[in-house]
Amino acid sequence: MDFLGGRRLRRSRRTAWSRAMVRESLLTPSDLIWPLFVIDGHNEKTQIRTMPGVERLSVDLCVEAAKAARDAGIPALALFPNTPDHLRSTNGAEAYNPDNLMCRALSAIKSAVPGIGLIADVALDEYSSDGQDGLVRNGEILNDETVAVMIRSALVQSKAGADIIAPSDMMDGRVAAIRDALDGEGFEQTQIMAYAAKYASFYYGPFREAVGTGSRLVGDKRTYQMDYANSDEAMREIEQDIAEGADSVMVKPGLPYLDIVRRAKDSFNIPIYAYQVSGEYAMIEMAAAAGAIDRYGAILESLWAFKRAGASGVLTYYALEVARKLGA
């Protein structure tokens, strides 16, 4: 059979060693960030109904998880508190309590495992009684008033040991305001990872159960999270957050938005992270449980897709499992 120039593209795919040699993207433990859900108590863990295999952990167990992550080569953890109901309020004041659940977890982990990076989520949904990421007045999400509260939250988190502040609220101007406040309080080295392109997605359901906001959410979040029909708007959001001082940016959710990851990678000279969100995790787990897919094969394929699209790293609930297997 006559091939153009004698080329047979399958030659390089014939053996495992050859496939490895020409592989275009790499996946290593250092590409993975592990999100942890924090609860009150001691030696406490609770199951998350819609996220089989993921548990909420008390602070002492988060410390043990951090040690396991460090040993597996994971560079950073992302923390999300499930604030007790009696501490939630319409003004979200618990967000800037220096002894809140998030700050206690940050302090305990930083003391026990100083070499691992800690990413602190900054938004009000984990502290508000209405499940919204911002302060609400007459049904309207207040932008500037919310940013003022977030500044206070970012400062107590930084004092507790956060290495990276991650505003996930999508309020306008919050990156610049937080950067100014951090610098003014001597936290010039604290990074900001902005949730720059966070979409109003239906893939967040299990996460909202995990942090206790799903059942209390009043209304929706479409006036501040992005319309999933839009792509150019994401580039404007990312560009603005970079201009305001973000050290890295995030696209959320992950797999349904790989086009945004690719565009951001091609457009901006800054680390781009993607969040493989709770709904993505749940779909893999439930499809595997039904016998529809090979579980670990699907996990690896999904994570490699992020790297192929240009992501610098991935926030994933599979981080510890995958890091251990990649490092074996």
Q: Is 198 among the residues known to form the active site?
A: yes
Q: Are strands 32-39 and 313-315 parallel, antiparallel or unpaired?
A: parallel
User: If we measure between CA atoms, which residue out of 238, 271, 278 comes closest to residue 255?
Assistant: 278
User: If we measure between CA atoms, which residue out of 140, 244, 257 comes closest to residue 194?
Assistant: 244
- Distance, in Å, from the CA atom of 222 to the CA atom of 201, rounded to the nearest integer, reads 9
Annotated catalytic residue within 252, 265, 307, 325: 252
**Secondary structure element (H or E) that encloses residue 38, with its range:** strand 32-39
- Distance, in Å, from the CA atom of 208 to the CA atom of 162, rounded to the nearest integer, reads 23
Q: Are strands 191-198 and 164-167 parallel, antiparallel or unpaired?
A: parallel
- Distance, in Å, from the CA atom of 282 to the CA atom of 203, rounded to the nearest integer, reads 9
Q: Is 110 among the residues known to form the active site?
A: no
Q: Are strands 45-47 and 55-58 parallel, antiparallel or unpaired?
A: antiparallel
Strand partners, 142: 135
Question: What crossing angle do the helices spanning 319-327 and 59-72 adopt, rounded to 10°?
Answer: 30
Site of tokens 């936290």? 187
Annotated catalytic residue within 45, 110, 159, 198: 198
Which residues participate in catalysis according to the annotation? 198, 252
